[in-house]
Amino acid sequence: MKYYFDWKNEAKDDEMEIVINDLKNDGLILLPTETVYGIAGNAYSDVACKKIFRAKGRPQDNPLIVHISDLEMLEKVAEKPNEVEEKLIKAFMPGPFTIILNKKNVICDTVSAGMSTIGVRMPNNRIIHTIIKKSQIPIAAPSANLSGKPSGTSLDDIIDELKDEVDVIIDGGECNIGIESTVVKVTNGVPIILRPGFITEEDIKKVVGKVKLDDNIFKTVSYGEQVESPGMKYRHYAPKTKCVLVEWGKQQINKVNELLKKNPNACVLGFEEDREYIEVDSRKFILLGSKNNLEQISKKLFTSLRKIDKYDNCNLAIIEGLPKQGLGLSIMSRLSRACEN
Ligand code: TXA
Ligand code: MG
């Protein structure tokens, strides 16, 4: 890292100039978005995009999302959206929403990992928006974390693992949403959710009347299997410590307590409401938030997962699950990946 800029309150003009120059010179920037932090580089530059893959240790076949500032820029990077895609773009951009479109050739093959499509997202976070708008450079940015680890939603969580990989770090405080954007691909007129996020199935249905969840969201994909979104193949969000998920239901607390009896060195990631009934030392209870406030759980989710490895004697993390509905489904998709072995 050459520069650290604190832009929690505002972006400074001279620092903005440094950021834009760095982008133009194929440098990498660790920056906030409304969902999670990203490792950002010039999406037109093969050199910059290769650096992003290297920084994360990311598999070569997992494409990057291209971030744009407005619809004029969308036209530059992707082919014209069809009617259904158009409706989704109008409804959810700017925001935590990524749409898969056919790419134009200005976007290098490294970004798309050789696919003919790219994921396009128009973030509504003021910092990344201003950088894209002022530089007129679309930004390729995956979530800021080493490949396989939980995404970063606060700089404290990721600065150690990424500071040597980037030129500039921009501190924008904690991310508002906390889980990554909803990734959607329209196939035969039907929006298919490849990765659930803050924009839910229900939200999409309201706009175009139909929506489908990809079959692989909760499935472990075996090696060599064909999937719509390469990201589904890889282990994700995983602390080093082994994690188990206790599904939502009447017996949830009892099941957590049974597991605790068998595993005295376990810690628990649980809900505020269940805390007093879960028989674990309060120092080994990591609060996910209230089950009645899914936005709050989403915002703290990755920080909570990262806390697990900080407990010295904990050899198992027992995690309380949620109903797979609305934002709960998106949270559960991360938690179940964290619990894959
Ligand atoms: O909220 C977000 O989307 C964050 C912030 C930084 O914008 N970015 C993010 O990027 O989560 P990443 O690289 O961690 O996840 C991108 C996901 C991967 O699962 C990838 O496989 C999928 O999007 N993806 C990207 N391009 C695709 C394409 N052309 N077709 C199918 N899936 C694609
Ligand atoms: Mg990611």
On whether the CB atoms of residues 143 and 229 are closer than 8 A, the answer is no
- Among residues 263, 262, 267, which one has the least CA distance to residue 281? 267
| Cis-peptide into 63, omega within 30 deg | no
Q: Which atom of ligand 1 is nearest to the CA of 35?
A: 1
Considering only CA atoms, give the Rg of the chain: 20
Has domain 243-338 been given CATH number 3.40.50.11030? yes
Instruction: Let me know if the fold of 3-213 is the same as that of 243-338.
Output: no
- Tokens 């970004």 map to which residue? 111
**Angle at CA 144, nearest 5°, toward 269 and 157?**
45
Confidence band (pLDDT; 50, 70, 90) for 251? very high
How far does the centroid of ligand 1 lie from the alpha carbon of residue 142, in Å? 6
Q: What percent of the chain has pLDDT over 90?
A: 92
Q: Are 96 and 199 in contact (CB under 8 A)?
A: yes
Judged against a pLDDT cut of 80, whether residue 225 lies above it is answered with no
Q: Which ligand is nearest to the CA of 64?
A: 1
Measured distance CA(163)–CA(155) in Å, rounded = 10
Predicted TM-score (pTM) of this structure: 0.97
* Residue 104 to residue 101: CA distance in whole angstroms: 9
**Distance, CA 316 to ligand 1 centroid (Å)?**
29
Domain 3-213's class?
A: alpha beta
For the cut 70, the answer to whether the pLDDT of residue 187 exceeds it is: yes
CA distance 29 to 218: 32
Beta bridge partners of 174: none
Q: Which residues approach ligand 1 with their CB closer than 6 A?
A: 33, 35-36, 38, 62-65, 98, 100, 112, 115, 117-119, 121, 141-143, 180-181, 183, 194-195, 228-231
146 CA distance to ligand 2 middle (Å): 9
Sign of the alpha-carbon torsion through 286, 337, 139, 23? positive
pLDDT at 120: 98
Smallest-distance ligand from the CA of 101:
1
The pLDDT assigned to 223 comes to: 66
Measured in Å, residue 100 CA sits from the centre of ligand 1 at 10
Ligand nearest to the CA of 49: 1
Please enumerate in sequence order all residues whose Cβ is within 8 A of that of 308, keeping only pairs 6 or more positions apart, or say none. Answer: 239, 241, 243, 267, 269, 286, 314, 317
Three-state SS at 58? coil
Q: Is the pLDDT of residue 329 over 80?
A: yes
64, pLDDT greater than 80:
yes
What's the average model confidence in pLDDT over 208-220? 93
The Å distance, Cα 180 to ligand 1 centre, comes to: 8
Mean pLDDT of the residues in the chain: 96
Strands 266-271, 285-289: parallel, antiparallel or unpaired by DSSP? parallel
Reference 191, options 180, 176, 202, 177; nearest CA is: 202
Rounded to whole angstroms, how far apart are CA atoms 43 and 140? 5
User: Among 242, 241, 275, which residue's Cα sits nearest to residue 257?
Assistant: 275
Q: Containing H/E element for 319?
A: strand 316-320
What distance in Å separates the CA atoms of residue 212 and residue 191, rounded to the nearest whole number?
A: 6
d(Cα 297, Cα 291) in Å, to the nearest integer? 8
pLDDT band at 1 (very low <50, low <70, confident <90, very high): confident
The ranges assigned to domains in the chain are 3-213, 243-338
What are the tens digits of pLDDT across the range 7-41? 999 999 999 999 999 999 999 999 999 999 999 99
Distance, CA of 316 to CA of 244 (rounded, Å) = 8
Nearest ligand 1 atom to alpha carbon 195:
19
235 pLDDT above the threshold of 80: no
Mean pLDDT, rounded, for 77-85 = 98
Tell me which residue has tokens 């093969």: 46
Enumerate residues with CB within 5 Å of ligand 2 (an ion): 143
